[in-house]
Structure formats: C-alpha cells, structure tokens
Structure 1
C-alpha cells in the first residue's frame, strides 16, 4: 500500500517571505509600531504669539537695494561736467584776450629785427611783425613735414638767413631761422625748384614767433637723416649755427600768383593774421549741455517708481 507523500514545506503566510536559510521555516514580519506624539511637547500653534503667514496680509515692496553704486557715478557726471564747463569759460576769456593782444601787434609798423635777439624776450613780441635783411643759406635748408596745404601734401621750407649788419669783416654776422612757407612734396628737392633759390640780399618781412611745442603724438626728429617732423627751434638753430629765433615769412598772393608759385616750387608764406584756434565756446556748450542732461537723468532715476518686475512680496510685520 502506498503512503501519501506529505509536503514538509508549508506555504508562507500572505505577505511573509520564507526564510532563505531554512525553507521549512518562515520569518514573521516585524510589527509596525506608531509612536504617538508626546503630550508634553509644545507645537508652534500652542504659542499664543504665533502668527501664520496665511493670516498675515502680504505687502508689495521693492526687493533689494533701491540704488547701487551706479547712482553715485551718475551723480558725479553732472558735477564734473559743470566744473569743466566753468573752466572752459575761463579759458575762453583768456584766449579772447590773447588773440586781441596778438591782433593789436599785427597792426603796428614792422619792427626792424635787431642783430642780437634775447630768446627770453621773444614771448613779449610773439606775433610781432618784423623786417630782416640778409642772404639765404640754401646749403643749410631744412624741410619740416609732412604738411597739408589746400589738400596737397608738402613741406615747410626752413632756411637760415645770414645777416651782416656790422660790415663785411664778418664780426657782426648773425643768423636767424626763416620759415619761408610751403612747397609741394613733388618739388621738395632743390634741383626741381631752382627759382626758389634766391641769391643776393633779400628783405624778409614776417612774424616773430615763440618756439613750437611738440605734442605727444609727433615723432622725434631725425636730423642725421634730414627728417624733421616738427620745428624744434633750438635743435635746428644748433644744426645751422644760428640764433634760436623763428620768423614766419608773410605774404598775401592772389589765387593766380599762388598757383604760379606752387608750380615753380617757390615757398608760399602765411598771411599776416592770428591763426590760433578758439573752440572754447563749443566746449562750454558741450559741457554745460552734458551737465543739464545728466542732472535730468539723475532726477528721473531717483524719483522714478519701481516697476512691476522689480517688486517682490514679503510678510508684513505691521498689524493694524
């Protein structure tokens, strides 16, 4: 008689996994216990002074700082522009008086240039019309440039003028520098303009001028290569053996004469007039206009209400 096989493995209870080490045994689950809140612990709502954000009405306000360091910079701009405009007013008065003084010297009779000129006294005779006699030393000629004249490139011709007021013994010979005028670049060489090489005694009428001042953008002269970018009076006087005296020859040729002189390479002198720039009135208008405009901008920035994008909501701490 066959015996019925008995399954020694018991079905695990629902939700209870079998013990993998001993399949015949089952592992009872750990019961879940809920810890009830302690009655002695106080909740935030138990505090009578507690206020909820749901019970507190919000307040619309501007988030962060209203103005930053940019406002300080904006405030400095109109102040700086006002100072610069006032300074230009003073400069305008100074330049106007200076031009009036120079124009007063132009109307006077040309002064014969003395044999010896004190360089320190030239400041008091700037733009003074003078007359000098002598002979040009074309072998010591110097060209300064480039310089533009009526849209054409060229050079200024600087020629020492040798004078002998004391006689023919040579003991009274003195030399000054004469800016004869402008010549075209294509006629810069002396052999291309023989009519400009005057011989014999000449009479030069021009303006006595102070030495030029070099700006920071002008390159240095290279006298060893014969290149002069600005008239350094002292340097050119040492090279030519003359006094540090600068005379700008003046003339007023008509249009036809100027064209003829330019075609022959004869230097074209400057007119007897004061050619100092006086743009201070424009600077005054610019600086004062900038001061007014930035002042209005500053007022609008300070008084302008915050926009919707710059608003934020925070909890109101004040209760009515």
Structure 2
C-alpha cells in the first residue's frame, strides 16, 4: 500500500476542518439569532417609550412602541416597502426636527403606490421603532399621514435567520471534499491494468 502524500493530505484535512468549524459557527450564530428574535418579540409588548434624543448604540429600542413629536419636516425619502396588506410600493420617511438636541427623528408616515411625498408637515407620531439603514432606527407610524396607507408593522419574526442553511452548506462542502480526496487516493493506489498483449500474426 502506497503512503499517503503528506502535503496534499495536510491541506485537505485543514480545509475540511475549517469548513466543519464554519458549520459549527453558523449553528452558534443560529442560536444567537433565535435569542435575538425572542428579545425583539418581548420588546414588542413592553410599555411605550418616548422617542430618544439620540439613537442608542445598541438595539435595545428596536420593536418598542414609542411616541415622538415632529416639530418640522426637513425632508422626505421614499424607500421600497409594503403596506399592511403586503402590497409592494413606497414607504415615505420624513426627516423631522424634534425640538431637542440630537439628529431628530425619522418617521415612516405611510405607504403609497408612487414615490411622491405627502403634504404632512409634522405633529405627534405614535408607532413602532424599526431598524433604519441610514439612521439606525425610525418610527413607523400607526396612523399614516393624510393620503397614505399604513406601512407594514415591523415584525421581529421577519429578521433573517438563515444560519442553519449556511451550516448545512459548510458540512456538505466538508463531506464532499473528503469524499473526493478519498476517491482520488483510491485511484492513485489502484495498480494500473497490465498491458494487453496482442496475438501474434500468422
């Protein structure tokens, strides 16, 4: 029996171990994400809070019910969103002054089929705090601005949690690499067939 080639075997073993480690890490991430979603769901039923002057450095306010006051609308942006019935369109987010130090408040004032901003100029906003890609958090209004429909209520269960799928992928890659290498070794160690001898011509 031929000896295993040292360097290729070490490299393949290291690659397989790395992929298995990544799969285990994804399983750990899955457990962490499940705990995070559970905390978000618990936050959704806590008593309402006032809109903070400064967004917190962590996610402690996500999915909390909250109330803020928009003293003036300084700008609008429209982002792809859904309404309460799940229809696709535009969510209209107002950049608000809040009458206090800090960056103010981002208020999702509702949904429509087109991207044109509403004529709402400010006031009290009651809703649910949701993640915001630009400003960390925004307040999704329960009562939309005139002419708009309510945006979809922020749902903690919609938080992506694909870590089990990623873990299965890494374990599959590890198994495939090990099997392919074992087949290559078997082929290498199989002696070649004897050369065929042709019959002498008469």
Residues 142 and 150 of structure 2 are in contact (CA less than 8 Å); yes or no, is this contact kept in structure 1? yes
Which residue, out of 48, 51, 67, partners 1:110?
48
Q: Does 2:63 align with 1:141?
A: no
Contact conserved, 1:106 with 1:272, CA < 8 A, in 2? no
* Residue equivalent to 2:138: 247
CA contact (8 A) 1:162 1:173 kept: no
TM-score (norm 1): 0.47
Aligned twin of 1:127: 63
Unaligned segments of structure 2, at least 5 residues: 196-202
> Which protein is richer in strand relative to its size?
2
2:120 paired residue number: 198
Give the one of 172, 176, 186 matched to 1:289.
172
Measure, in 1, the Cα distance between the counterparts of 2:58 and 2:10: 49
1:84 aligns with 22
SS of residue paired to 2:34: helix
CA distance 1:283–1:180, change in 2 (3 Å)? same
TM normalised by structure 2 equals 0.70
The reply to whether residue 308 of structure 1 matches residue 192 of structure 2 is yes
Name the CA distance, whole Å, in 1 between partners of 2:154 and 2:98: 23
Q: CA deviation at 1:130?
A: 0.9
Shift of 1:268: 3.9
What secondary structure does 1:125 align onto?
coil
Residue matched to 1:16: none
| Alignment partner of 2:116 out of 179, 189, 194 | 189
Equivalent residues in 2 for 1:1-12 (5 A)?
A: none
CA contact (8 A) 1:130 1:205 kept: yes
* Cα offsets for 1:275-314 (capped at 9, x unmatched): 31000011111111222232233333334442526x89xx
- Unpaired runs of at least 5, structure 1: 1-60, 165-171, 191-195, 213-231, 234-244, 254-260, 313-320
